[in-house]
Structure 1
Amino acid sequence: MQTAVVVEDIAETGIWLRGLLGEAFPGIRVTVCGDCRTARACLAELRPDLALVDISLPDGNGLSLIPLILQASPQAAVVVTSILDDQEHILSALQTGASGYLLKDLPEDQFIHKLQGILRGDPPLSPKVARKVLQYFNGAGSAVPVAVEPVLPMEGLSSREVEVLVLIGKGLSRREVSELLHVSDNTIATHVRNVYRKLNISSRAEAALEACRMGLISTEL
C-alpha cells in the first residue's frame, strides 16, 4: 500500500484513521477529505490503493463515492468505516463495490489487523458485519436494493446527530461516544441535547426506540 484516501468529516476521527493506516502500512501516504465534494476533487488527482469511506457525510452519502473511487483506481480496496451496523447499509456498501466494512468501535489492534488482511486477500469485515452478511446469505435477511442516494438528514437530524443517536440507542455512555467519535464530551452533550429536542424525547430508552423505528439499529446481535 502506497497511497490512501480517508473520507471522514470529523477532523479528530480523520487523524485517528490516518494514524491506524500508518501503523498498518508504514510509509503510506494518506489524504483526508472531509466531505463528498472534496473527495471528488481529490480523485481527479489521486489514484489511491486504499480508501476508507464514512457513510454519513455533510453533503451526501459516502457510498456514492465508491464507484468514483473504483473508476479512478480499479484495483483500489474500498473499505467503509462507520458506526452504522444495520444490514441495509452493510449490503448496500458491498453491492456498490466496497471490499470491506469496518465498524469504528472495533479495538484498534483488530482494526489494524483487519486492514493488513487486505494484503493477504482477506476481506476486512468487523465480526458483527460478517455475521450480518452470513445471516443474509443463509436466508435470514430480505433482499436489499442498492441505495446510494443521500438518506440524511433523518427526522431533521444532521449526519453526526444520526450517528450519536445510533450509539446512545445501543446503550453507550456519553463518554464512550466521545471516545469512539474522537470528539470532546461537551460536543457529544450538545449533539445529545439536539437529538432529544428534535425527536421530542428525554431518555436513552426513547432514543433506542426511535433508532429502531428509523431502521438504524435492531434488536438482533
Structure 2
Amino acid sequence: MIRVALVDDQAMVRVGLRMILESEDDIEVVAEATSGVEAAGIVAEHAPDVVLMDVRMPGMDGLTATREVLAAHPGTRIVILTTFDDDEYVYESLRAGASGFLLKSVDGDALVSAVKVVAGGDALLAPEVTRRVIEQFARSGVDPEEPDEPSVEAIGDLSEREVEVLRLMARGLSNQEIAAELFVSATTVKTHVSHILTKLGVRDRVQAVVEAYDSGIVVPRP
C-alpha cells in the first residue's frame, strides 16, 4: 500500500486529490495538512511514502517545507503541486530535493501514475519540467555561448557514454526514448542511468539533471 500525504491550503484541492487517489486499491491518503508549517509534523506522525506539496501557501511555502521535511525525513518522496505561473519555484523545488512536480491541472490517471512512479523510487522528469529548469538557468546568468565540453571535474567518473545519456536525460527523454536515440536496449540505458546516479551521488533522475546543470555537464542552449 502506498501511503500519501496531502499538503495544500485549499480544501477543495485536497478533497479532489483524495477522491482520485483513494479510488485506487493500492493507495491510501494517510494525512492532510493546510500549510507548510504542518507538513513536517504529519510526515513525522504518519510516515507517508509520498507527499503532494503545494507551492504557494500562507506562513511557509512548499519550497521551505520541502527542505524541512527532507532534512528530517530524507527517505520521503515529495512531489510539488504547481501551476503554469509558478516557474520561479520549479528549479529551486527540484534542487531542494523534490522528486518532481505536477501541474494542478493534471488528470486523474496521470496523478495516480505519478504517485506510483515516485513511490517506486523513480522521479518525474517530463519535458516541460526540463524546459523550465533550462529557463531558470538561463535567467540565473548561465552563458549559453559557453563551450559544450564540460570540465573533467564536472564529469567526475562518468564515461563518455554516460555523459551522453545524462545529456539526453536533461532533455527529458525516457529510458525507451534514449535507447532509440542511441540504438541500444532500454536495459542498457537503465544500467547507464543507475551508474550515473551512483557516480553523481544523487538519488533520482531529477537530481541528476539538476546536478548536471549545476556542474556544467549540461549547458542551456540559446
Alignment TM-score, normalising by the size of structure 1 = 0.55
Quick one: distance in 1 between partners of 2:95 and 2:42? 24
* Consecutive unaligned residues in structure 1, runs of 5 or more: 145-221
Match of 2:128 in 1: 128
Quick one: distance in 2 between partners of 1:107 and 1:27? 17
Listed one character per residue, the Cα deviations across residues 59-100 of structure 1 (whole Å, up to 9, x for unaligned) are 221111112222343211100012145442100100111111
Q: Aligned to 2:140, what secondary structure does the other structure show?
A: coil
Contact 2:6 2:31 in 1 (8 A): yes
Quick one: distance in 1 between partners of 2:16 and 2:104? 10
Match of 2:140 in 1: 142
- Structure 2 matches for 1:174-213, cutoff 5 A? none
- Structure 2 matches for 1:33-44, cutoff 5 A? 33-44=33-44
Quick one: distance in 1 between partners of 2:110 and 2:2? 21
Q: Aligned to 1:70, what secondary structure does the other structure show?
A: helix
Alpha-carbon spacing, 1:122–1:63, altered in 2? closer, same or farther (3 Å): same
User: What do you get for the CA RMSD once the two structures are aligned?
Assistant: 2.7
Alpha-carbon spacing, 1:58–1:25, altered in 2? closer, same or farther (3 Å): farther
Contact 1:23 1:112 in 2 (8 A): no
What letter matches 1:41 in structure 2? Answer: G
- Structure 2 matches for 1:46-57, cutoff 5 A? 46-57=46-57
What letter matches 1:51 in structure 2? Answer: V
Contact 2:2 2:26 in 1 (8 A): no
**What is the deviation of 1:117?**
1.8
Contact 2:21 2:27 in 1 (8 A): no
Contact 1:47 1:72 in 2 (8 A): no
Alignment TM-score, normalising by the size of structure 2 = 0.54
Match of 1:112 in 2: 112
Q: Aligned to 2:81, what secondary structure does the other structure show?
A: strand
**What is the deviation of 1:8?**
0.5
Q: Aligned to 2:46, what secondary structure does the other structure show?
A: coil
* Consecutive unaligned residues in structure 2, runs of 5 or more: 143-222
Listed one character per residue, the Cα deviations across residues 9-55 of structure 1 (whole Å, up to 9, x for unaligned) are 11110011122332456242421111123324323423221111001
* Count of equivalent residues: 142
Q: Does 1:9 align with 2:9?
A: yes
What letter matches 2:45 in structure 1? Answer: E
What letter matches 2:61 in structure 1? Answer: N
Contact 1:24 1:116 in 2 (8 A): no
Match of 2:60 in 1: 60
Quick one: distance in 2 between partners of 1:65 and 1:101? 15
What letter matches 2:140 in structure 1? Answer: S
Contact 2:99 2:123 in 1 (8 A): yes
